[in-house]
Amino acid sequence: MTEPTVTSYKQLRRPTDDRMLAGVCGGLGRYFGVDPVAVRVGFAVLAIVTGGAALLAYPVMWLVMPEEARPAAPVWPNPADPAWGQPPSTPGGMPGQPSTPVA
């Protein structure tokens, strides 16, 4: 799997964590630096003012805007590993023992 690259410019993407329906308003809010709730309210007002014609733009944006990359899955310990379930060892040796001998 390839690592996501960091770009020096803003990208218009649908987030995976801030969505009500498809993430279009959340993505627009992040892109323009506005609260996504304000974008949702503005979209609802625009839909009312235009008699519902603005509602046609939402599915178009849903199809055109790419989805944000999902975060990598966490690495879980392998139960087949012999060290599984054991406390991590300290740099000095055995857990609970000091790293230098006490005189």
Which residue in the block uniquely carries the two structure tokens 């406390």?
87
The per-residue pLDDT for range 12-37, each reduced to its tens digit, is: 777 877 777 888 888 888 888 898 89
Q: Which residue has the higher pLDDT, 47 or 71?
A: 47
Q: How far apart are CA 53 and CA 32, in angstroms?
A: 23
> Would you say how long the chain is, in residues?
103
Element (H, E) at 39: helix 36-49
pTM of the entire predicted model: 0.56
pLDDT of residue 93 exceeding 60: no
